[in-house]
Chains A and B, each alone.
Chain A
């Protein structure tokens, strides 16, 4: 009713101008919607990543003395930003959660507890894996085939759900322990 009223009210030029604006807004909204879906998925993954920290136990020798709980993000800058936002006020066992972006595998230190390798950085994984071979770092990625390539936990989207896959043996080899509650809902890869 409002459209019919406006259409009758304005002249032809104005009508053309308005139609153009509507068209531009429609294209823009489609693009924006795709970007928003990626952001939402990153948010879920960041929450999952944060939650993983509560179901994994690190060796006391590592944890003791640390004042922060460091999560490293290798790859997507946007994910690092989303994660940063997600855990901004959260703690792990009373320790502040610190999200840091890692650009170079050499930058990975023993202080890092969880290392999230975004699917965009899966090409660097071999280097990363070599670097953290014996470190008690939980490696997580949303890239496919991450488990098969020697990763510990992968967060894969299946339909509208994020599926957790765990190579529990590798987790144990890294000196970490994982809660049965997590293992119950995760798909454990042998």
Chain B
């Protein structure tokens, strides 16, 4: 089995060659053997036949000699066999078995003669027979006369010629067989290609496929035989595997794509979730902050209205009294102190109200540099600088514009608060550097939750003051937190107002401070490319007096009506005061005024906003200003949407009321002029 297995591992080509060679050799050997055997037997039969014929003829010729006991003649007759070279020996026996005569071929002598041809033969031994030996055979033939055996003749026939002939045949046939074998092998190897080539191609393709795993190949079919069927089957199998692989690849790709899409979606969702969590945290933070602000606002709002009314007298009347007193009066100084105290109280109330009013959307496009410059050049700022003579303000004006959108009033207050803070941080001498620059933010800066990629206006206020301790740095935007000496200045709400304003303008504020070195506030607001088209008013900022225009003041507070009437009269306006909205509607139904100043909250009765809405029904072009110590954001928004021209904060000041009336009526003039 091992041996057969060894052969079984041979290549098909070798096996076929071996089979052909083996089969051919076997057939040739059988053929050669068969021919030799056939020749042997046929030659022997022929020789035997010839020898028997010869023996018969010789025997016939010897009948007379044997009959008449003539040994001489018998010898002569036997001697005639010398012509037959194959006859080695001939012996003639009498009827009684006696050796009668003998002939031996010249040159031949065999030791076997005595054995095979004794002097006498037993009668029974002398029967017609043929005995073969390796190199000769003997023929015994009876000699009969008239049907009666009168003697026997024995011929020893040489087989050397037969052997010679057989040798010749063997050599010839072997040579011929070898030649045939060679021819058969050559032809077979040629013809084997018909079988081997398709098998080889098939095997080669199978190896290639197993190596490369490429099932897209196919085997060329040569013939429609069994190998052809095998090739068809193999190709079909490859095709099937290829299709299945393609399907699997498609499924895999689809799956990968699906996983990729799902992963991306999950990443996006995760990112959104993270963002939402951040936003939620921030919103929570802002909510907490806003709630705090809301609580303060509510508190402030609750007291501001009444406080404003109380403060109105303290703030407004000193101004009116000072206008009427001679310069040498001893009451000027006390009145100014009363006025300043009242103003400070009013400022606190205003800051409270500013915090409470957060979210007011005044979207006005303006140049931030211009706004800062205006503030720095304002009387308020200059007066403040007088108290900090050692402080140098540095604000280099730059070419170009720094447009932002928002509330100029709030941003101006923000700038004021920052500069005030910086000045107060500098104890003796120091510098305040105010810088504006345009930047592009491509990535989110720290703490800037409302960031969007784009251009920003960056405001830096840097001082060389005492600095803020790091533990206080996180709390500076909290209401009523102050690192400064309490009561020195400010309301404790300045930085909260700044923070709220920056948030409202979708900006960010960062603060860096080192104790003993200084503090740097960095604010960033979204920049506007160009200033929106808006009517430019060229009003005289200093001009606050009226020209006798009729102003209707509607306020439920008698004190406020009185103060307002005094201011208006002082400013050159004609004032009419009413205590309720219903009264105002009734009045306006019959009369016309240039402008109405409406108190927002009037208790009981119609609110200022409702009054204005009713007035607009029959006087759609009626101008109005809303005045209030406190009001919710929604109502202010609604007032602006109804067409209210301006909003002023009570208590009334001469300047603010004069500016507002002049602005609103001036717009009217400008509009009518157009």
Contacts and interface: CB of A to CB of B under 8 A. Distances in A.
A54 interface: yes
B174 interface: no
Interface of B: 60-61, 63-65, 67-70, 72-73, 77, 145-146, 148
Contact of B146 (A93, A162, A164, A182): A93
| Most chain A beta carbons < 10 A, residue from B60, B67, B68, B146 | B68
Given A93-B146, A181-B61, A54 B67 contact: yes
B64 A48 contact: no
A77 to B, nearest CB: 25
12 contacts: A44-B69, A48-B67, A48-B68, A54-B146, A55-B64, A55-B67, A91-B146, A93-B146, A182-B68, A185-B65, A185-B70, A185-B73
B68 A51 contact: yes
A179 interface: yes
Contacts of A164: 68
Contact of B63 (A161, A162, A181): A181
Given A51-B68, A181-B65, 15 more contacts: A44-B69, A48-B68, A51-B145, A54-B63, A54-B67, A55-B64, A90-B148, A162-B68, A162-B69, A164-B68, A179-B64, A181-B61, A182-B64, A185-B64, A185-B65
A92 interface: yes
A184 interface: yes
Contacts of B69: 44, 161-162
A164 B69 CA distance: 11
Contacts of B61: 181
A48 B77 CA distance: 20
B64 A181 contact: yes
Interface in A77-117: 90-93
Contacts of B77: 184
Given A54-B67, A164-B68, A179-B64, A92 B73 contact: no
A70 B327 CA distance: 225
Contacts of A161: 69
Contacts of B72: 185
Closest 3 CB pairs of A and B: A181-B64, A51-B67, A185-B73
Contacts of A92: 146
B35 to A, nearest CB: 43
A90 B67 CA distance: 14
A163 to B, nearest CB: 9
Interface residues of A, number: 17
Contacts of B73: 184-185
Nearest to A53: B146
| Most chain A beta carbons < 10 A, residue from B65, B72, B145, B146 | B146
Contacts of B63: 54, 181
B58 to A, nearest CB: 12
Contacts of A181: 60-61, 63-65
A25 B77 CA distance: 47
A164 B63 CA distance: 15
B101 to A, nearest CB: 12
Interface in A32-77: 44, 48, 51, 54-55
A54 B68 contact: no
Interface in A131-190: 161-162, 164, 179, 181-182, 184-185
A185 B70 CA distance: 7
| Most chain B beta carbons < 10 A, residue from A44, A54, A162, A181 | A181
Contacts of B145: 51, 54
A28 B146 CA distance: 42
A118 to B, nearest CB: 19
B272 to A, nearest CB: 143
A96 to B, nearest CB: 13
A92 B145 CA distance: 10
Nearest to A179: B64
Contacts of B65: 181, 184-185
A184 B62 CA distance: 10
A18 B148 CA distance: 51
Nearest to B146: A54
A182 B651 CA distance: 195
A89 B60 CA distance: 23
B222 to A, nearest CB: 81
A185 B65 CA distance: 7
A164 B73 CA distance: 13
B559 to A, nearest CB: 199
B68 A185 contact: yes
| Most chain A beta carbons < 10 A, residue from B67, B73, B77 | B67
Nearest to A182: B64
B537 to A, nearest CB: 181
| Most chain A beta carbons < 10 A, residue from B64, B145, B146 | B64
A10 to B, nearest CB: 44
Nearest to B61: A181
A181 B58 CA distance: 11
B60 to A, nearest CB: 8
Contacts of B70: 185
A35 B231 CA distance: 111
Contacts of B68: 48, 51, 162, 164, 182, 185
Nearest to B148: A90
A58 B266 CA distance: 143
Contacts of A162: 68-69
B63 to A, nearest CB: 6
A90 B150 CA distance: 13
A147 B73 CA distance: 22
A167 to B, nearest CB: 17
A55 B68 CA distance: 11
Contacts of A185: 64-65, 68, 70, 72-73
Contacts of B148: 90
A48 B69 CA distance: 9
B61 to A, nearest CB: 6
Contacts of A93: 146
Nearest to A90: B148
Nearest to A91: B146
Contacts of A48: 67-68
Nearest to B150: A51
Nearest to B73: A185
Contacts of A51: 64, 67-68, 145
A51 B144 CA distance: 12
Contacts of A91: 146
B54 to A, nearest CB: 17
A92 B70 CA distance: 22
A20 to B, nearest CB: 41
| Most chain B beta carbons < 10 A, residue from A44, A48, A51, A161 | A51
A179 to B, nearest CB: 7
A25 B113 CA distance: 46
A180 B608 CA distance: 188
